[in-house]
Amino acid sequence: MLELVNFYLLPGLVLGAIYAMSATGLSLVYGVMRFAHFAHGDLMAFGAYAALAAVDALGISPWAAIPIAAAATVPVALAADALFYARLRRSLPAVLLISSFGTGLMIRAGLYFVFGPTQTGYGMGFTPPLVLGALRIQVRHLWIIAGAAVAALALHLLLTRSRAGRAMRAMADDPDLARITGVDVAQVIRLTWAVAAVLVAIAGVFLGIDTQLTPGMGFNVLLASFAAAILGGIGRPWGGALGGLLLGMAEELSSFPLIGGAPLLEPAYKTGVAFAVLVLTLILRPQGLFRGM
């Protein structure tokens, strides 16, 4: 049982927290703009590398570089919308989808050009885990879980206690009615991009702290992020958060040696769990857990 908690449940919770932040941003963008943003993963990588640049230039820790990463990612998301997506807003959804693919490729190519293709890290060194009785918990995992919880609380307060958040929810529920009642659509769209960019930048830094940085790191988790958003209900931010947690736990538990000491699924195939969850959700409950759009 302790092996299950130490090596599967806790890492699954950490991975799920990262997925949750990414999927929440995807759901926000889809809810307000009805737009499946396939450059979302590359914004994640951009945020991670922006933090790396701050770490190298200023000599600070990656935790302290998170605000810098978020501040650097927001203009990129806003620029992509102003240069590409805004001009195609009235086009067919497939046109916007393909344009987001192209935007993601440009961001990724820029990261390859500046930072190169080699794996790198934040150079945090080894930190011994906390030992609480029989539990062994990595300190960075505690910070990732706590950071995701703080981000979730901040998003909740924004959506429920602020006028801008209520406008975002109105746009997500009924865009035409929101326009008629005087909601500033352009401002809501800009705010949505900013919030989604902050969430995905933080998720990128967390992923870089927990693993390594590569220009393709965000694209590699994009399928899992979409699977989490669809599982929770696409367009429903809290559904995306719950879907991310469930998916992260499912991926890690899939390799638990339940029968005869052999893992249920070889670790190399864990990412296939996201695809399986996505397909099963679309077949059995396409509206997701929270009845998405």
Q: Average of pLDDT values for 96-117?
A: 96
Supply the DSSP string of the chain, one letter for each residue: -HHHIIIIIHHHHHHHHHHHHHHHHHHHHHHHH----TTHHHHHHHHHHHHHHHHHHH---TTTTHHHHHHHHHHHHHHHIIIIIGGGTTS-HHHHHHHHHHHHHHHHHHHHHHH-SS-B-------PPEEETTEEE-HHHHHHHHHHHHHHHHHHHHHHHSHHHHHHHHHHH-HHHHHHTT--HHHHHHHHHHHHHHHHHHHHHHHHHHS-B-TTHHHHTHHHHHHHHHHH-TT-HHHHHHHHHHHHHHHHHTT---BTTB-SS-GGGTTHHHHHHHHHHHHH-TTTTTT--
Q: Average of pLDDT values for 218-225?
A: 93
Could you tell me if 144 and 209 are in contact, meaning their C-beta atoms sit under 8 angstroms apart?
Answer: yes
Greatest Cα pair distance, the chain, in angstroms, is 63
The predicted model scores a pTM of 0.94
Domain definitions of the chain by residue range = 16-215
Q: How large is the C-alpha radius of gyration of the chain?
A: 19
- pLDDT over 90 at 261, yes or no: no
First-to-last alpha carbon distance for the chain, in angstroms, is 39
Average pLDDT, the chain: 90
Question: Given this model, what pLDDT does residue 115 score?
Answer: 96
Q: Average of pLDDT values for 222-251?
A: 91
Question: Given this model, what pLDDT does residue 199 score?
Answer: 97
- pLDDT over 90 at 89, yes or no: no
- Helical packing angle, 40-58 and 222-232, nearest 10°: 120
Q: Which tens digit of pLDDT belongs to each residue from 138-194?
A: 999 999 999 999 999 999 999 999 999 999 988 888 888 888 888 899 999 999 999
- pLDDT over 70 at 27, yes or no: yes
Identify the CA nearest to 140 among candidates 244, 73, 201, 66.
66
Q: How far is CA 229 from CA 48, 63, 145, in A?
A: 21, 26, 19
Q: Average of pLDDT values for 95-110?
A: 95
Residues 6 or more apart from 133 whose CB is under 8 A from it?
none
Question: Given this model, what pLDDT does residue 194 score?
Answer: 97
Question: Given this model, what pLDDT does residue 93 score?
Answer: 83
- pLDDT over 90 at 113, yes or no: yes
Question: Given this model, what pLDDT does residue 234 score?
Answer: 86
Question: Given this model, what pLDDT does residue 292 score?
Answer: 64
Question: Given this model, what pLDDT does residue 293 score?
Answer: 60
Tokens of 109: 């190519």
- pLDDT over 80 at 70, yes or no: yes
Q: Which range, of 6-10, 32-36, 68-72, 120-124, averages the lowest pLDDT?
A: 6-10
- pLDDT over 80 at 20, yes or no: yes
Distance of CA 168 to the CA centre of its chain: 19
